[in-house]
Chain A
Amino acid sequence: MKALTTLVLFTILIPAFSQTRITGKVTDVKGETIPGANVLIKDSYDGTSSGLDGTFSFVTEEQGLQTLIVTFVGYKQFTQQVELSGTVITITATLKEEINQLDGVVISAGSFTAGEEKRRTILKPVDIAMTAGATADIAGALNTLPGTQKVGESGRLFVRGGDGSEARTFIDGMVVLDAYGPAAPNTPSRGRFLPFMFKGTSFSTGGYSAEYGQALSSALVLTSKDKAEMNQTDIGILSVGADVAHTQVWDRASVSGKVQYTNIQPYFGLINQRVDWIKAPESFESSAAYRQQVGKSGMFKFFGNFNQSSFSLFNHDILNPTVKQKFDLTNRYRYGNASYQQALGTWTLRGGASYSYNQNDVRVSENPMGETETGIHTKLVAEHSVSDQFEIRMGSEIIHRDYKSARHNEVLGNSEELSFREMLSATFAEGEYYISNKVVAKAGGRFEYVSLNQSATLSPRLSLAYKPGKQGQFSFAYGSFTQSAQNQYLRFNTQLQPETAQHFILNYQVVTDRKTFRIEAYQKEYRNLVKFNTANPTIISNAGKGNARGIELFWRDSKTIKNVDYWLSYSFLDTRRLYLDYPIAATPTFASAHNFSAVYKHFISKWKSQLGFTYSFSSSRPYYNPNRPASQFHEDRTPAYHDLSANVAYLPKNNLIVYLSCTNLLGRDNIFGYQYSAATNAQGQYESRAVRQAANRFLFVGVFITLSKNKSVNQLPNL
């Protein structure tokens, strides 16, 4: 019994002897206390949380040399070896801030990023699809953002004094040639890709990464969705056609396919059009997407698109409208894009190839004037996280383009062919360094070599961002950008050097919970622009130049009014160019000094509907009047542009959407410019004709049904 007593005593006493008290304080680098930090002895249960004043104290039964760990969200882990022997230990744990790419500083100069998961986003994919007036067109929705100019007769993105060809589209890092569908003269074209294909949209109005080249003004970088999660069939019945899509999902892969047919004929029968159609636009489109997860972190993506569209119309002579010229167009388009991404420790490798084929079979009075462009792009990029503060990215790409066009020679009465083959190789490298959560710098460069005309260019890029407080931040970006001269000029003179632009951008942005404010100022210098010799227009050189500057404001608020989301954009642009056939430096016809957009969306749960309105304003645009002397080139101005568009999406059921949209509700007769007769009339004057909207309003009705066999939903009745 005595032995037992000893034993019991012993077991009680041992812990008493071996206890060690650890006390201390948790602070950050600046000495601010950190409450709620987790303080613990590795591989034991012993530990505590720091109090409101950052101090802690606990007792451990562990013995000998142990590791003390302190952790707190947003800070790097603190570790220290401690010798536990019964004597009190006092620790001061100083935690270093972790570089946090969600709440920390980001470079925002020139870019609008839209993604579902990243929280600093300004626009989301659903915003793009549901913006009134955009009719689910990506460019249409982006045209409500600052930095864009509304050019109603084109439908393309015109960014900061740049023309429609200066904005380039990339899908999963791969270039897309001819990203817009064909359109009749002076009617807006639509982007070939639908917003819902993408999980992320990054729209840059300048100063973008060295990874992207061949774009003077803007890069639209689209990231396609990952593997689909659900088997589903989508059916759309539209006022202008129909589409069917199906998605099949496996454990690690998914396939989706879509076919779409559109024919505007029935619609044109209903609403009077200003175009003298012989055959209204008709198109057939099919696309397929395949996703495969490989290993733990690899992802293979394939996307393919096939489109054929055609229309036929009469162009009427301005002087004598009874004289008409037949214009037929058949466009055949194919696009394929395969990409693969793999993470290997601190490295990420991604690569891909894309193929674009665009054939415009144009006949003017039955004379062939067609053109064909084939492009192959291959690219390999490596990204490496040197530390959580420093990241580098480098890569190489080759873009091969083959261009052929036919031209009718009126003098000889025959057809001649113009063609070129361009091989562009590029290498880029870029480093991004987070000095702290407040300051980040990114610097890099891009080297391009074009085999066609032996041109070599080196384009530096630099951006900085500083976040002094919790919400507001300043960014600066500088970059030099190059782009091959447009096909229509390059085919006459393959020795044309790339056109260049330099961007300087200053930006201030505040993003709070569901509210965004930003202001941006920029200056842009164009050099090496294509210029025709005034004496002999067949001589084309790189003697053109230009500049653009402006200030832009953006405000978005989806918080203040319940169920209401709205944004306002204003852009001021001052630009002049001396290029193409301009006799003097002048503002181009696509540029307007003031652009304003207001987008309003209201979800009314009682009606199960989302209502949207978009109002767009563009101040007057210059146009060319041949009746004036060269010194008054582009001095005439069109009336200002106003458009109020509306849409309603009605969701009577989870899987059914009825969509109705109408552009230009007020029926304003917007005039985009004037065309002049080729010859003078009896009075020695050139006669004009206004370039108007093809129809005052565009009305669109669609019914979208989703049939899904969601396992969880289907199981419900059995439970």
Chain B
Amino acid sequence: MKTTTFIFALLISVSAFASDKYTEQMSKHIHAVYTAKSVDEYQSAINALDRIALAEKTKWEPYYYSAFGNLMLATQATEGSKKDSYLDLALAAIEKGKTIQANESELIALEGFVHMIRLTVDPGTRGPQFSGMAMQAFGKALGINPNNPRALALMAQMQFGTAQFFGSSTNEACGMAKKALEQFGSYKIDNPLAPVWGKEMTDELLKQCK
């Protein structure tokens, strides 16, 4: 009887382990994206996430992190056309993620981030169009989840950039960044794969505020 129980327990844990292969593999590659240093490291992490995205038909997270990886590559690229092609890949992954989870605050905030980086390629001509699109995405992400610290931090970043461009007061943007920083401390969500990035970026922004 004892043996049976043990085997039963073992079987359960094995199957639990099997179903959690997703979480385990994702955690590994998310870590790789967060810590990637070179284009190759990003590319191999993105590829791994894309493989999971293709195998799992109901998960938005692989698309999210694949997009995030391409977005990071875009920020590091120097040539405008190269930036644009990474951003195209990021946006394509976000769109796929949205077909699975249309109202995921994190995905929509990331979409706004893509528009924001798109703007930086050529602020003079892209400014009017992409600032509107970015702000709208951040607003929508906050509408779905008012506690999403990344959406708020990105919006603060965008406001800050716009204020700097026009030489107007950055007070409002800085206030928002402060609020975002508080939210990074208190934000809790029941998803081990949920994004956690953005606090450092907000710290940097707040340094500029002083």
Contact of B166 with A651 in the complex, beta carbons under 8 Å = yes
Q: Which of A536-562 contact B (CB under 8 A)?
A: none
A712 and B124 contact, Cβ closer than 8 Å, known pairs A40-B51, A608-B166: no
Determine, out of A42-50, A238-246, A276-284, A567-575, the stretch whose residues face the partner at the interface: A42-50
A65, CB-defined interface residue at 8 Å = no
Q: Which residues of B contact A4 (CB under 8 A)?
A: 3, 6-7
B172 on the A face (CB < 8 A):
yes
Question: With A38-B50, A229-B132 given, is the CB distance from A45 to B21 under 8 Å?
Answer: yes
A510 to B62, CA, bound (A): 39
List B1-47 residues whose CB lies under 8 Å from chain A. 3, 6-7, 10, 14, 21, 25, 40, 43-44, 47
Given the known interface contacts A45-B52, A653-B166, the answer about A711 and B139 at a Cβ–Cβ threshold of 8 Å is: yes
- Given A45-B21, A45-B51, answer yes or no on A36-B167 (Cβ-Cβ < 8 Å): no
CA gap between A711 and B146 in the complex, in Å: 14
Q: How far is the CA of A3 from the CA of B143 in the complex (A)?
A: 57
Check if A126 sits within 8 Å of B128, measured CB to CB: yes
- The reply to whether the CB of B125 lies closer than 8 angstroms to some CB of chain A is yes
Q: Does B200 contact A (CB under 8 A)?
A: no
Q: For residues 221 through 239 of chain A, which have their beta carbon under 8 Å from a beta carbon of chain B?
A: 229-230
Q: Is B80 an interface residue (CB 8 A)?
A: yes
Task: A598 to B85: give the CA distance in the assembly, Å.
Answer: 32
Q: Which of B104-126 contact A (CB under 8 A)?
A: 122, 124-126
Pairwise interchain contact B89-A73, C-beta atoms closer than 8 A: yes
Question: Across the interface, do A513 and B40 meet the contact criterion of CB distance under 8 Å?
Answer: no
Q: A710: which of B52, B79, B139 is its contact (CB, 8 Å)?
A: B139
Are the CB atoms of A119 and B166 closer together than 8 Å?
no
Cβ contacts under 8 Å, B52 to chain A: 45
Is A635 interfacial (CB-CB < 8 Å)? no
* Complex interface: chain B residues within 8 A of A513 (CB): 79-81
Chain B positions within 8 Å of A514 at CB level: 80, 122
Cβ of B162 within 8 Å of any chain A Cβ, yes or no, is yes
Could you give, for residues 92-114 of chain B, a 1 whenever the CB lies within 8 Å of some chain A CB and a 0 otherwise?
00000000000000000000000
- Determine the distance from Cα of A221 to Cα of B100 in the docked complex, in whole angstroms: 39
Say how far B78's CB is from chain A's closest CB, in angstroms.
9
* Assembled-state Cα–Cα distance A69/B53 (Å): 14
User: When the two chains form their complex, are residues A710 and B55 in contact, meaning their CB atoms are under 8 A apart?
Assistant: no
Give CA–CA (A22, B133) in the complex, Å.
45
How many residues on A have C-beta within 8 angstroms of the other chain's C-beta atoms?
49
Closest chain A residue, CB of each to CB of B123: A603
Q: Is the CB of A36 within 8 A of B43?
A: yes
* CA distance in complex: A194, B191 (Å): 51
Q: Is residue A416 contacting chain B, with contact meaning CB distance below 8 A? A: no
Q: Could you list 13 examples of A-B contacts with CB < 8 Å?
A: A4-B7, A7-B10, A37-B47, A38-B47, A119-B81, A119-B84, A514-B80, A603-B124, A711-B136, A712-B136, A712-B142, A716-B176, A719-B179
Contact yes or no, B54 A42, CB < 8 A: yes
Collect the chain B residues with CB atoms within 8 Å of residue A654's CB.
162, 166, 168
Known contacts A513-B79, A514-B80, A719-B142: does B179 contact A230 (CB below 8 Å)? no
Q: Is the CB of B129 closer than 8 A to any CB of chain A? A: yes
- Tell me if A371 counts as interface (CB < 8 A to partner B): no
Please tell me if the beta carbons of A45 and B55 are within 8 angstroms of each other in the complex: yes
Instruction: Say if the beta carbon of B60 comes within 8 Å of chain A.
Output: no
The one of A36, A69, A73, A712 that contacts B85, using a Cβ cutoff of 8 Å = A73
Q: A116 touches which one: B43, B44, B129, B142 (CB < 8 A)? A: B129
Q: Residue-by-residue, is A332-348 near B (CB-CB < 8 Å gives 1, otherwise 0)? A: 00000000000000000
**A4 to B7 CA separation, bound complex (whole angstroms):** 7
Q: 8 Å CB contacts to B: which residues of A1-58?
A: 1, 3-4, 7, 11, 35-38, 40, 42-49, 52
CB proximity of A9 to chain B, nearest CB, Å = 13
List chain A residues, Cβ under 8 A from B165: 605
Write the chain B residue with the least CB distance to A46. B51
Distance between A104 CB and nearest chain B CB, rounded to angstroms: 13
* In the complex with contacts A73-B85, A119-B81, A654-B168, A712-B25 CB distance below 8 A: no
Residues of B with C-beta under 8 A to A1? 3
Q: Is the CB of A3 within 8 A of B139?
A: no
Asked if B71 is at the interface (CB within 8 A of a chain A CB), the reply is no
A297 within 8 A of B: no
Partner of B176, one of A7, A46, A719: A719
**B155 at interface (Cβ–Cβ under 8 A)?**
yes
- A47 and B52 CA atoms in complex are apart in Å by 10
Q: Contact at B81–A49, with CB atoms within 8 Å?
A: no
Residues of B within 8 A of A (CB): 3, 6-7, 10, 14, 21, 25, 40, 43-44, 47-48, 50-52, 54-55, 79-81, 84-85, 89, 122, 124-126, 128-129, 132-133, 135-136, 138-140, 142-143, 146, 152, 155, 159, 162, 165-168, 172, 176, 179
Interface pair A126/B124, CB less than 8 Å apart: yes
| Cross-chain contact of A49 among B44, B54, B166 (Cβ < 8 A) | B44
Q: Provide the residues of chain B in CB contact with A47, threshold 8 Å.
A: 47-48, 51
B114 to chain A, nearest CB (A): 14
Taking A514-B80, A719-B142 as given, write out 19 further A-B residue pairs in contact, using a Cβ cutoff of 8 Å, ordered by the A residue number. A11-B14, A36-B47, A45-B51, A46-B51, A49-B48, A71-B50, A116-B126, A116-B129, A119-B81, A229-B133, A230-B132, A230-B136, A603-B124, A605-B165, A710-B132, A712-B142, A715-B143, A716-B159, A719-B179
| Cβ proximity bits A675-719 to B, threshold 8 Å, 1 near / 0 not | 000000000000000000000000000000000001111011001
Give the number of residue pairs across the A-B interface with Cβ within 8 Å. 111
What is the CB-to-nearest-CB distance from A115 to chain B, in angstroms, rounded to a whole number?
Answer: 11
- Chain A residues near B (Cβ < 8 Å): 1, 3-4, 7, 11, 35-38, 40, 42-49, 52, 69, 71, 73, 102-103, 116, 119, 124, 126-127, 229-230, 513-514, 565, 603, 605-606, 608, 651-654, 710-713, 715-716, 719
Report chain A residues within 8 Å CB of B179: 719
Cross-chain contact B21 with A124 (CB below 8 angstroms): no
**Separation in Å of the A606 CB from the closest CB of chain B?**
7
Nearest chain-A residue to B56 (Cβ)?
A: A45
Q: Cβ of A40: which chain B residues have Cβ within 8 Å of it?
A: 51, 54
Expressed in whole angstroms, the Cα–Cα distance for A103 and B80 within the complex equals 13
A496 to B80, CA, bound (A): 53
- CB atoms of B136 and A229 under 8 A apart: yes
Q: Min CB distance, A291 to chain B, in Å?
A: 16
Chain B residues near A11 (CB, 8 Å)? Answer: 14
Smallest CB gap from A610: residue in B: B124
Complex Cα distance A653/B85, Å? 32
Q: Please tell me which one of the listed residues A71, A565, A605, A715 contacts residue B139 in the complex, with CB atoms under 8 A apart.
A: A715
The CA of A48 and the CA of B48, in the complex, are separated in Å by 7
Question: In the assembly, what is the distance between CA of A462 and CA of B48, in Å?
Answer: 46
Q: Which residues of B contact A49 (CB under 8 A)?
A: 43-44, 47-48
Task: Give the CA-CA distance A126 to B124 in the complex, in Å.
Answer: 9
Report Cα–Cα, A46/B166, bound state, in Å.
50
Residue of A nearest to B133 (CB): A229
Chain B residue with the shortest CB-CB distance to A40: B51
Q: Determine the distance from Cα of A24 to Cα of B172 in the docked complex, in whole angstroms.
A: 56
Given contacts A513-B81, A654-B166, contact A710 B136 (CB under 8 A): yes
Residues in B with CB closer than 8 Å to A7 are: 7, 10
Residues of B within 8 A of A603 (CB): 124
A38 touching B51 in the complex, CB below 8 Å, given contacts A4-B6, A11-B14, A719-B179: yes
The answer to whether B25 touches A45 (Cβ under 8 A) is yes
> What's the least CB distance linking A116 to chain B, in Å?
6
Rounded to whole Å, the gap between the CB of A659 and the closest CB of chain B is 15
Q: How far is the CA of A315 from the CA of B165 in the complex (A)?
A: 51
Partner of B124, one of A38, A565, A652: A565
B31 to chain A, nearest CB (A): 16
Q: How far is the CB of A710 from chain B (nearest CB, A)?
A: 6
Give bound CA distance, A207 to B54, whole Å: 45
Q: Which residue of A lies closest to B152 (CB)?
A: A719
Residue of B with least CB distance to A44 = B55
Least Cβ distance of A60 to chain B in Å?
Answer: 11
Residues of B within 8 A of A116 (CB): 125-126, 129
C-alpha spacing A713/B54, complex, angstroms:
37
Contacts A126-B125, A608-B166 known; A712 to B51 CB distance under 8 Å? no
